[in-house]
Structure 1
Amino acid sequence: MAQARPSMQELIRQRRRAGFVGRDAERAAFRANFEIPPEDERHRFLFHVHGNAGVGKTFLVRELEQVAREKGASTAFVDESAGSVPEAMAMLSRQFAGQGHRFKDLDRLLAAHRERRYEAEAAAVAMLEPEPAGPSASSVVAARAGLVTLGMVPGIGAFAGVLDAAQLAQGADRLRAGLSARFRNQEDVQLVLSPERVLTPVLLNELTDAASGAPWIVLFFDTYERTGPFLDGWLHELMTSDRHGTLPATVVMVTAGQRPFDTARWGAFADFMTDVPLGPFTEAEARGLLADKGVVAEPVVEEVLRLTGGLPLLVSTLAEQRPTDPGDVGDPSATAVERYL
């Protein structure tokens, strides 16, 4: 039987991996962690990659994902396209389904959450419609306050700055009462008001089932400077408490963002996590990347090193141009911005 040909995406990933240069120590530490049993105090359950824009965080995290898969792990990747914890769970579910692990119970509840939230938003908006005698200022303020408090409107800061605590509480209470009257099932109310409380225990059960069919499960959370505001507290609670249930010991988390972890939240748990700060390439790493692209003329290499300061994104940008003369080396910052946009 003829072997199936790899997809375009698989071939692109293979080529990109073949050109991966540097970060040997980071990759080695991550790979070695799979050789250490979770019961061993040297094992790490969390890796946090951080550094300024352009140092190659996403590129490294994608490489770590391939390392995990080589170790037989089931993996899933969340980035800034997720705007909430339920959306992050949905991304995880879709990717596990592609690896043969269907999260049926979680998918059912996520669908119910989206439906109930839509109904709740419609009901909340109806509260803003004119009353027969005209809407009172207090009713409009209360309705808007309820929308803000329950996170049902974008741009929360626009309201939060002008509403006092009493208005927020009044609006939230009004909406809660309306939702309780609309949804007889208390779980439906919670799916709108506190979806994480309903969804997280189900996610943990799904991960436990998936863990029975894979030696490791590795969850990646990229662009953490954007997703951390709503994911960080949830992940911390997930990993350090049993409020929602228990996680399999074979789960490893990887987060990546521009800032270090919040020491006020995570400082007491340094013994189970590894901090992975990323800086510019060393000269040897930058030279290796340039050589891999055929850029070896010493005057050209020196000019690239001078202009980029070893910043991986800029070094890679110029390496792709394959300059053969120092005069051919343009401004890497402008090119990199164009590529990014």
Structure 2
Amino acid sequence: MLVRRWKGYAEEAWAATVYLDDAVHGPQEAMKAISDQLARQGLPLNAFTKRLGELRQRQKAAEHGLPAGVGSPGAEAAAHAGLTAAGAALGVPLGVDQLARSAGQLMGQRRERRDGELLNDPVGEVTPVFVKDLTEAARDRSQVVLFFDVYEQTGPGLDRWLRDLVDERYGELPSTVVVVIAGQGKLAPAVWGEMMPHVEEVVLDSFTEDEARDLLSRKGITDEATVTAILDVSDRLPVLVDMLASHRPTGPGEVIDPAESAVERFLRWETDPARRRAILDCALPQEVDADIYRALLDPEAAAGAEAWLAKLPFVTSHGGRYRYHDVVRTQILRLQRNQSANDWTHRHTTLADHHAHQRTTLETSLPDTDGRWANEQWRDHRAAEMYHRLCATPYDNRLAILEDCVHAASASTETLTRWVRLIYRAGHDSNHTTLTERATALGNNSAEADPETALRHILDQPGLSTTTRAHAYRARGRHHRTAGNHEQAVTDLTRAIELNPGDELNHYWRGLAHHAAGNYEQAITDLTRAIELEPDDALNHLWRGLAHHEAGNYEQAITDLTRAIELNPDNASNHHWRGTTHHEAGNYEQAITDLTRAIGLNPDDASNHRWRGT
């Protein structure tokens, strides 16, 4: 409520405001969300948007192993041309080829370092551009205020980056950029210690643990088990701590659940039974919008919901979405669980089915699994669906959520982190310790989930289908390959092939791992099998062409790259690599034609111009 009020005050003072909650799970998502919200207020961060697009292209290329001119034949050829001319002028008869290879490698290494910096520290690369754009945007408004809500959930993934942002590690920010952090706990001293003199802290009405213990001690309650029970069920709300202490419990078994009393206090002003029921039901989802309350409530209650939801003192609204304060929602959820397990399961299942319907509708235009996981709207519905299914029937969905985590690990570290936190939240909200323990094992205690740790845990679990197990090995193999652990990558991908030899992607990724390790003949063998299984996938032909190229089989390489162009004529990389292969083979006119086409498709890629000039 306080955050909402501050946001309103800022907007009245002609400030641009940004509101972020637990829909963001890391710095890249936060910067993208800030950029999107500011753009809607007429303050686009154009340079950052372009840089982020480049980063994502590089990440996608790295995921598929697409080389971006690194140590390429074209680099060596360009160096050869320059050094041949220099050698002729200086009368140097020998060693030009060796010098050309060295110079070509140097050019490639410089490009590789630039790309490596972007991929190894993407946040460090894009944040300075973000800061520069944000500074420009701040000049057009009285202030730019960034609100980070529910920070107890997002803090682990954002803390270090946000501290560095405020500390101006990425560039100087004007004083008109204000950061507001709202959460249940204090800022971590280990991260924010040096910045605390510059932080204005506003403490709300929940007790700290020490304050709650002090009150209980003054009430004569000192038994540790009893104190722990009171702290657990009260969420340290002063009114609840005092109420529980007033009963003078002498053991944890005498500590009553305060949920009913707490909820009664929250709803004491609402006399309409139907409205009270609707308020309780709307607390079940993590956030509510018009589609959700229409699916959850009867038509009469749903028709007026928008009018009264935003007026609730413990609800914040943002862009047509409503979120209950965590303390209030926790008490309502506990009451709902205690009153009727059947109703709890039924209502969560209703919500899960709603999101499943929305998700499957989207899938008509997203037939590919990878495409679905790359689509933000699809991920949102899938995440909400699985949250509600875990709350309703955690045991029945124990394998489905692990399968989701495999897909999430394949998509990105941020997506995996989101899914691990989803599991923890479902366990917390439904009081299922097996779920919170599962989240901890998958890496919930870390700022961001580690794909290798999560996949190792998943592969240790019984009951996984053969397809899911093969997919997990493939996902781990891909992460090994990206990290440069080529031997482990080949081992995992070989296991994936053993489990599911008919999956073209298993052969494709092992082919890329062999290619990265310099095993070109093995790469050709794997990619040939991938082509047999999926002959119309341009990437299979592109990569076999590149493997042939590295092996010196230029004619076969040109054949494969030509097929890649036939299948995907608008991909600049296909024309670029056939052009450089023609160059290597001495077919300069064909090389110029291909590189001219690559320039037409991607005029901002300097390598296309450089190799055509060569």
Instruction: Please give the TM-score of this superposition, normalised by the length of structure 1.
Output: 0.50
Partner of 1:263: 189
Partner of 2:432: none
Is the 1:96–1:102 contact (alpha carbons within 8 Å) kept by the matching residues of 2? yes
Equivalent position SS for 1:101: coil
Equivalent position SS for 1:269: helix
Is the 1:211–1:248 contact (alpha carbons within 8 Å) kept by the matching residues of 2? yes
CA RMSD of aligned residues (A): 3.4
Instruction: Give the counterpart letter for 2:335 in structure 1.
Output: A
1:245 matched to 2:187: no
Partner of 1:228: 155
CA distance in 1, matches of 2:23, 2:259: 35
How far 1:226 moved relative to its partner? 2.5
Instruction: Give the counterpart letter for 1:254 in structure 2.
Output: V
Equivalent position SS for 1:72: coil
C-alpha deviations, 1:237-288, integer Å up to 9, x for none? 1212x432101111111112222111233233333212223336888xxxxx
C-alpha deviations, 1:310-333, integer Å up to 9, x for none? x7xx74456456469xxxxx9954
1:274 matched to 2:216: no
How far 1:212 moved relative to its partner? 1.0
Are the structure 2 counterparts of residues 267 and 183 from structure 1 closer, same or farther at C-alpha, using a change threshold of 3 Å? closer
Match of 1:76 among 15, 18, 26: 18
C-alpha deviations, 1:91-133, integer Å up to 9, x for none? 0000000000111100001111111112222239xxxxxxxxx
CA distance in 2, matches of 1:182, 1:318: 69
Equivalent position SS for 1:76: strand
Same amino acid, percent of matched pairs: 33
Kindly report which structure 2 residues correspond to 1:104-143, keeping only aligned pairs within 5 A, or say none: 104-123=46-65
CA distance in 1, matches of 2:267, 2:116: 51
Instruction: Give the counterpart letter for 2:172 in structure 1.
Output: T
How far 1:90 moved relative to its partner? 0.4
Kindly report which structure 2 residues correspond to 1:12-23, keeping only aligned pairs within 5 A, or say none: none
Is the 2:143–2:177 contact (alpha carbons within 8 Å) kept by the matching residues of 1? yes
Equivalent position SS for 2:44: coil
Show structure 1 runs of 5+ residues with no match: 1-58, 125-179, 284-304, 325-329
Is the 2:48–2:130 contact (alpha carbons within 8 Å) kept by the matching residues of 1? yes
C-alpha deviations, 1:48-87, integer Å up to 9, x for none? xxxxxxxxxxx43233211211121111122222222111
CA distance in 2, matches of 1:92, 1:271: 26
Instruction: Give the counterpart letter for 2:142 in structure 1.
Output: P
If asked which structure has higher relative contact order (CA below 8 Å, sep 6+), I would say 1
Which stretch shows the higher mean deviation, 184-193 or 66-75?
184-193
CA distance in 2, matches of 1:105, 1:197: 15
Instruction: Give the counterpart letter for 1:93 in structure 2.
Output: S
Match of 2:129 among 189, 202, 214: 202
Partner of 1:5: none
Are the structure 2 counterparts of residues 335 and 320 from structure 1 closer, same or farther at C-alpha, using a change threshold of 3 Å? farther
Partner of 1:215: 142
C-alpha deviations, 1:162-215, integer Å up to 9, x for none? xxxxxxxxxxxxxxxxxx969936443322111122111111111111111111
Partner of 1:38: none
Which stretch shows the higher mean deviation, 204-213 or 183-192?
183-192
Match of 1:189 among 113, 116, 121: 116
C-alpha deviations, 1:14-54, integer Å up to 9, x for none? xxxxxxxxxxxxxxxxxxxxxxxxxxxxxxxxxxxxxxxxx
Are the structure 2 counterparts of residues 317 and 185 from structure 1 closer, same or farther at C-alpha, using a change threshold of 3 Å? farther
Are the structure 2 counterparts of residues 322 and 194 from structure 1 closer, same or farther at C-alpha, using a change threshold of 3 Å? same
Are the structure 2 counterparts of residues 217 and 315 from structure 1 closer, same or farther at C-alpha, using a change threshold of 3 Å? farther
CA distance in 2, matches of 1:334, 1:307: 6
Kindly report which structure 2 residues correspond to 1:162-177, keeping only aligned pairs within 5 A, or say none: none
Match of 2:44 among 99, 102, 110: 102
Instruction: Give the counterpart letter for 1:61 in structure 2.
Output: V
How far 1:334 moved relative to its partner? 2.7
Are the structure 2 counterparts of residues 322 and 187 from structure 1 closer, same or farther at C-alpha, using a change threshold of 3 Å? farther
Equivalent position SS for 2:182: strand
How far 1:307 moved relative to its partner? 4.1
Kindly report which structure 2 residues correspond to 1:299-314, keeping only aligned pairs within 5 A, or say none: 307-309=260-262
Show structure 2 runs of 5+ residues with no match: 67-106, 207-236, 240-257, 275-279, 281-330, 338-343, 352-387, 389-614
Is the 2:25–2:158 contact (alpha carbons within 8 Å) kept by the matching residues of 1? no
Higher strand residue share? 1
CA distance in 1, matches of 2:272, 2:200: 36
Which stretch shows the higher mean deviation, 103-112 or 180-189?
180-189
Equivalent position SS for 1:109: helix
Partner of 1:154: none
Is the 2:149–2:182 contact (alpha carbons within 8 Å) kept by the matching residues of 1? yes
Higher-Rg member (1/2): 2
CA distance in 2, matches of 1:335, 1:322: 18
Is the 1:217–1:251 contact (alpha carbons within 8 Å) kept by the matching residues of 2? yes
CA distance in 2, matches of 1:306, 1:106: 47
CA distance in 2, matches of 1:118, 1:183: 20
Instruction: Give the counterpart letter for 1:122 in structure 2.
Output: H
CA distance in 1, matches of 2:114, 2:28: 15
Is the 2:259–2:335 contact (alpha carbons within 8 Å) kept by the matching residues of 1? no
Are the structure 2 counterparts of residues 214 and 224 from structure 1 closer, same or farther at C-alpha, using a change threshold of 3 Å? same
